[in-house]
Amino acid sequence: MPIFNPMRPAYQQDPYPSLASLREREPVHRSTELNAWVVTSYELCDRVLHDDDTFSSDPLNASGPMGESIAATRAAVPLGTAPILGNTDDPEHARLRAIVNRAFVPRAIESVRPAVEDIAAEVLDGIPDGPVELMSAFIEPFVVFSVLEQLGIPSADRPAFREAARVVIAARAEGPSRLPAARAAHGALSTLLERWQSSGEVPETTVLGTLLAAVATGEQLTADEMLMTLIHISSAGNGPSACAIGNAVLTLGRHREALAQLVADPALLQPAVEETLRFDSATHLLTRFVLADTELGGRRIRKGELVYAVIGAANRDPARFFDPDVFDITRTDNRHLSFGIAIHFCLGAPLARIMIATALSALIARYGHYRLIDVQRGGTLLLRGPGRLVIAAE
């Protein structure tokens, strides 16, 4: 019987041999270590992510102590009952997404590209010559500033918003122990919201402007739902995007021929972005909760059970991708699942693609054929990326 243990250090360094073995032997695997089903084939991950009638994104649908704990935490903490786009199902998900989508039309996303490029240049200009730890010195601040720019949070309010958002997310994850800090954070956010509503200075084309207009016109969007949506978009954009850029830099650094191709031919930038997303996805797996007894890959799965759709495994499935373990920045058939699919396809995917491309372009312009000096893996079970990434120019 296969054993799946993603907590092993060897898995954290390189999960793909273990995932390939599991996919070949048992593509729908019951993990006693995780108390969950682990799905590793592209076809079955695609089915799980498409079938919203059977597989829910809302952890309240978990059975037993998990569901009870989540319900209790949500009821206790400020903003706990406000829905999060990534953890809701239709029709609530459709209602929220229809409002937010207005700020994510191609024209709106493309309009922030010059600002993102300026942010990359400004952050890089502040880094001295010599080896640099990219995650803390460049990637993380670049992503945070870019996401806040796209959200439309006024510059003077960004530090306060970032801190309050961090506290609220921690409270939803950790529960009542964070309650006093979460109450203070909720108060700070409410004060910011009052200022934004009265100032009239927030551009309507931004995410913040779109949400403010929806609240003002009574489009079934409460103030708490608006704040939670802002928090979710900012946190969902920061972590995964930073990991995706880190993975891209790391993968290119380990594939010198591909890096040389990209340095020589900037036209390969977009396919290179897609290949880095496929080859080592920042979103390592997605969670779903079973709404009714069902069969998947010949296995019987019960209502309330947890299913992990392992995106990293699906993206390396030889039944879907030719030579999937080969890193090829000229690959054209590249319908990876790194941004999800169907109704939960990542809202910020266009911005993430702009950020990854901008970061790679800026780094190559400065460091050229860079070399890796030190790499340490970070991330979590859900999110894969470097914790430390030191590079230097050749």
CATH of the domain at 57: 1.10.630.10
Q: Note down the domain range covering 126.
A: 9-392
Give the integer Cα–Cα distance in Å for 323 and 87. Answer: 34
User: What domain count does the chain have?
Assistant: 1
4 within some domain: no
pLDDT at residue 31 in the model = 93
* 264 within a domain of the structure (yes/no): yes
Q: Is there a domain that residue 42 lies in?
A: yes
Q: Which helix (H) or strand (E) holds 121?
A: helix 113-125
Q: How far apart are CA 238 and CA 357, in angstroms?
A: 16
Tell me the CA end-to-end span of the chain in Å, nearest whole number: 47
**Which pLDDT tens digits describe the chain residue by residue (394 residues)?**
677 888 888 999 999 999 999 999 999 999 988 999 999 999 999 999 999 999 999 999 998 888 888 888 888 888 888 888 888 999 999 998 988 888 888 888 888 899 999 999 999 999 999 999 999 999 999 999 999 998 999 999 999 999 999 998 888 877 777 788 889 999 999 999 999 988 878 888 888 988 998 888 877 788 898 999 999 888 877 789 999 999 999 999 999 999 999 999 999 999 999 999 999 999 999 999 999 999 999 999 999 999 999 999 999 999 999 999 999 999 999 999 999 998 899 988 999 999 999 999 999 999 999 999 999 998 888 999 999 999 999 8
Short-list 108, 109, 90, CA closest to 98? 90
Evaluate whether residue 212 is within a structural domain.
Answer: yes
Distance in angstroms (rounded) separating the CA atoms of residues 158 and 119? 15
CA angle 75, 78, 84 (to 5 degrees): 80
**Residue 1 counted as domain residue:** no
Q: How many residues are listed for the chain in this entry? A: 394
Q: Which of 293, 309, 312 is nearest to 301 (CA)?
A: 293
- What does the alpha-carbon distance between residue 358 and residue 361 come to, in Å, rounded to a whole number? 5
The one-letter code for the residue type at 276 is T
pLDDT at 39: 98
- What's the angle, vertex CA 225, arms to CA 220 and CA 227, rounded to 5? 135
Residue 2 lies in a domain: no
Dump the DSSP string for 48-98. HHH-TTTEES-GGG--HHHHHHHHHHHHHSTTTTS--GGG--TTHHHHHHH
Does any domain span residue 81?
yes
Q: Is residue 182 part of a domain?
A: yes
The C-alpha atoms of residue 82 and residue 228 are separated, in whole angstroms, by 6
